[in-house]
């Protein structure tokens, strides 16, 4: 038995992982932690319902970093949603493609990580927080650094468009760092396109600093191929009087794990987390969210909703942490699920840790079937069973979709969801 | 229009209707009265197609068709309308969008062109007057946060929009104050014609002051035990149901 690795998967990974000269400290730390801890085992509380190591072992055989694939403007054009108007950032297997991107708005600066070498990389999403952050530290080749400058309101959205396709390696490792300076405002959109059906691990780390009184909206659409394993570590530091809103719409993939962490670092912060997962087949989506209230007078709102068919599985774990200092905190959390089949599963767990005594916190979760009485009511007015079902499910999902900040992107997502719900799912 | 023959129905194996016979012709208003638990609402539910009820015997013909063979939505499209005793609140579904889908579904079935948005809104405005329903309610989620009276008015408003041939009002008067009752009854009366028929299921004679029935039937233990004119309703108001129960008991001895 080797003393170096915890499990077989981390041995495989460490043998096949790339080696880069940039960001030496981060790389080293990633390597040390991965060597020491390995990837999460099933007894790991944080990954209890999501046996990701097993899934990786079963699905992938080449843990080398995937090389770039061929992208051209026509392909990119075909994946822009109708009405898109904004800055475009194209990623090729996790690497920023400057020549295929276009950034024209003033107040926003975009560079590759290797060009700009930001010292703050890895200071928000700390290496030791999650095994997949360590892994990303080892694997990311280059990434992107975005700076939104002080007092600038960026009118049009900034659209991340990721193209993924395993190419001589099955690991894709995007790395994003965003700094939004004081009083700035910006809205990000994100879409990931799988170029074929082959399996891969896409392991993303996104770090965002939301400066004082800045306002940031981040909308993500997750519809990767049915063999993909996706891990997202998305962490934001939110400073005084700043607002951050996350919307995540998860529609497909083999196994998806989203870690979303909002650090409300000061007073007057507002953090909002909205999620919708529409799952069928064997798709497994796990949303782990974490909001940390550290100072008085901050607010967080959270609403995650799921509709699950077939053998799909949803996991929701919502942690709210209210520190002793964080008096007058308002924190709300809600998770609602509709199961459309007997074989679909949901594991939901609110986790509240409250150390202050003058706070308002509430949480609730429901899991059930479609309301039969409502279904009959609609049918008694002439709607077919499918129509009535679609209407009820869409109403359920709509509560999350309405939080998408860009109207065209909202329309794009709404159409996809509506089509899914109108058909036999 | 509607012929019910020897209808038996049960829920979870417990028989509720034990042989109902009733004929309703176009232009008629029938009131179905009876004590609690006599099967009034079950009859309304079975006619509308609620799936929890199992029809164990008998048949129902609607305009010559086997009504019981049709799905609830097909019955609605054929022209059967049930005004719910407890209208369901449906968050996230706007009343207007829902009604437009319903109206066009029904129109399509009847071989009519769908109403476009403009035409639909003008029809809606016109029908809203019938039940004095507030425009504001129309942009809200279906029945969500509506008062009891608003919910019942919304039922009659939907009835006006869908133009059924047979309307079944299931205790539409329960819980209404006199003003609301007047408004709801007014709506129903204005929608009456020589081609349509109405079945009014009620617990109280009061409603029949406003919607005057041609026939009154008393349901007891799952059977119609007495039929008469509107005078029967007045008798019931005065004497209650006990004398009917006595009569039934005497007859069965």
How far is B33 from chain A, CA to nearest CA, in Å? 23
**pLDDT greater at residue A425 or residue B244:** B244
SS3 A124: coil
Mutation site, B88, B143, B165, interface A, largest A CB count within 10 A: B88
- Output b/e per residue, B144-169; b: 16+ Cβ within 10 A: bebeebbbbbbbbbbbbbbbbbbbbb
Average pLDDT over residues A230-239: 98
Note the ipTM here: 0.95
Place of tokens 């996706």: A230
pLDDT tens per residue across span B15-33: 999 999 999 999 999 999 9
The number of residues making up chain A comes to 425
Q: Is the Cβ–Cβ distance between A181 and A147 less than 8 Å?
A: yes
Question: CB B72 to CB A379 under 8 A?
Answer: yes
Q: Could you give phi then psi for residue A411, rounded to 5 degrees?
A: -60, -45
Helices (H) then strands (E): counts for chain A: 9, 20
Query: Around Cβ B228, how many Cβ atoms within 10 Å?
Result: 15
pLDDT tens per residue across span A29-66: 999 998 888 888 878 889 999 999 999 989 999 999 99
Place of tokens 């306002």: A215
Could you tell me how many CB contacts below 8 A there are between chain A and chain B? 70
Q: What domain count does chain B have? A: 1
Query: Around Cβ A10, how many Cβ atoms within 10 Å?
Result: 23
Instruction: Indicate if the pLDDT at residue A425 is higher than 70.
Output: no
SS3 A406: coil
Strands A108-112 and A144-148: antiparallel
Q: Domain containing B13 — which CATH number? A: 3.40.50.300
pLDDT tens per residue across span A192-225: 999 999 999 999 999 999 999 999 999 999 999 9
Q: Say whether residue B71 is in contact with chain A using an 8 A CB cutoff.
A: yes
Q: Say whether residue B105 is in contact with chain A using an 8 A CB cutoff.
A: yes
pLDDT tens per residue across span A243-278: 999 999 999 999 999 999 999 999 999 999 999 999
H/E segment holding residue A333: strand A330-339
Question: CB B73 to CB A398 under 8 A?
Answer: no
pLDDT tens per residue across span B155-196: 999 999 999 999 999 999 888 888 889 988 998 999 999 999
Q: How confident is the model at residue A381 (pLDDT cuts 50, 70, 90)?
A: very high
* Nearest CA among A49, A326, A75, A357 for reference residue A193: A75
Q: How confident is the model at residue A423 (pLDDT cuts 50, 70, 90)?
A: low
Query: Could you tell me the residue range of the domain that residue B164 belongs to?
Result: 2-252
Which pLDDT score, from 0 to 100, does residue A120 have?
A: 96
DSSP per-residue codes, B94-146: EHHHHHHHHHHHHHHHTT-PPPPHHHHHHHHHHHHHHTT--HHHHHSEETTT-
């Amino acid at each position: 038995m080797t003393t170096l690795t915890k499990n077989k998967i981390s041995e495989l990974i460490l043998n096949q992982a790339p080696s880069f000269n940039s960001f030496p400290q981060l790389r080293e730390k990633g390597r040390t932690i991965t060597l020491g801890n390995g990837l999460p085992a099933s007894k790991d509380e944080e990954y209890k319902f999501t046996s990701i190591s097993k899934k990786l072992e079963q699905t992938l055989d080449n843990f080398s970093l995937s090389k770039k694939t061929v992208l051209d403007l026509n392909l990119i054009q075909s994946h822009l949603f109708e009405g898109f108007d904004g800055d475009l950032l194209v990623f090729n297997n996790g690497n920023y493609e400057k020549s295929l991107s276009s950034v024209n708005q003033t107040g926003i600066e975009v560079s590759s990580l290797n060009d700009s070498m930001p010292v703050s990389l890895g200071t928000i999403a700390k290496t030791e927080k999650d095994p997949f952050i360590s892994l990303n530290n080892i694997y990311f080749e280059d990434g992107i650094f975005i700076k939104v400058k002080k007092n600038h309101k960026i009118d049009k959205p900034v659209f991340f468009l990721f193209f993924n396709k395993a190419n001589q390696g099955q690991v894709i490792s995007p790395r994003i760092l965003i700094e939004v300076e004081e009083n700035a405002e910006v809205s990000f959109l994100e879409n990931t396109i799988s170029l074929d059906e082959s399996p891969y691990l896409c392991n993303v780390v996104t770090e965002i600093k939301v400066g004082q009184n800045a306002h940031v909206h981040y909308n993500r659409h997750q519809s990767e191929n049915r063999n993909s394993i996706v891990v997202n570590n998305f962490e934001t530091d939110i400073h005084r009087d700043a607002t951050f809103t996350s919307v995540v719409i998860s529609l497909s993939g083999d196994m998806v794990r989203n870690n979303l962490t909002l650090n409300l670092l000061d007073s007057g912060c507002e953090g909002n987390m909205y999620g919708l997962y529409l799952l069928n087949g064997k798709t497994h989506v796990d949303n782990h969210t974490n909001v940390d209230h550290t100072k008085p007078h901050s607010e967080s709102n959270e609403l995650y909703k799921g509709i699950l068919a077939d053998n799909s599985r949803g996991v929701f774990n919502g942690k709210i942490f209210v520190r002793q200092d964080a008096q007058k905190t308002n924190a709300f959390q809600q998770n609602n699920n509709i199961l459309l089949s007997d074989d679909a599963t949901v594991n939901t767990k609110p986790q509240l840790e409250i150390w202050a005594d003058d706070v308002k916190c509430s949480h609730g979760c429901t899991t059930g079937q479609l309301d039969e009485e409502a279904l009959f009511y609609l049918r008694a007015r002439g709607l077919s069973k499918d129509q009535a079902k679609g209407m009820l499910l869409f109403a359920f999902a709509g509560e999350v979709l309405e939080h998408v900040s860009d109207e065209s992107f909202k329309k794009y997502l709404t159409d996809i969801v509506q089509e899914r719900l109108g058909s036999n799912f | 229009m509607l012929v019910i023959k020897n209808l038996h129905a049960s829920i979870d194996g417990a028989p509720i209707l034990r042989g109902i016979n009733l004929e309703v012709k176009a232009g008629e208003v029938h009131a179905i009265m009876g004590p609690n638990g006599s099967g009034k609402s079950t009859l309304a539910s079975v006619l509308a197609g609620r799936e929890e009820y199992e029809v164990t015997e008998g048949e129902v013909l609607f305009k010559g068709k086997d009504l019981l063979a049709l799905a609830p939505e097909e019955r609605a499209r054929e022209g059967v309308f049930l005004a719910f005793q407890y209208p369901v609140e449906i968050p996230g579904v706007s009343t207007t969008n829902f009604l437009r889908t319903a109206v066009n579904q029904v129109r399509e079935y009847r071989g009519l062109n769908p109403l476009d948005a403009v035409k639909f809104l003008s029809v809606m405005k016109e029908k809203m007057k019938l039940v004095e329903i507030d425009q504001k309610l129309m942009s809200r989620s279906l029945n969500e946060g509506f008062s009891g009276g608003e919910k019942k008015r919304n039922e009659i408003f939907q009835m006006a929009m869908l133009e059924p041939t047979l309307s079944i009002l299931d205790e539409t008067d329960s819980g209404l104050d006199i003003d609301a009752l007047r408004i709801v009854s007014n709506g129903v009366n204005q929608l009456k014609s020589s081609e349509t028929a109405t079945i009014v299921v009620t617990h109280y004679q009061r409603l029949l002051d406003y919607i005057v029935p041609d026939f009154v039937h008393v349901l007891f233990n799952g059977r119609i035990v007495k039929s008469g004119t509107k005078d029967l309703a007045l008798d019931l108001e005065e004497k209650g149901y006990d004398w009917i129960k006595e009569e039934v008991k005497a007859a069965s001895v």
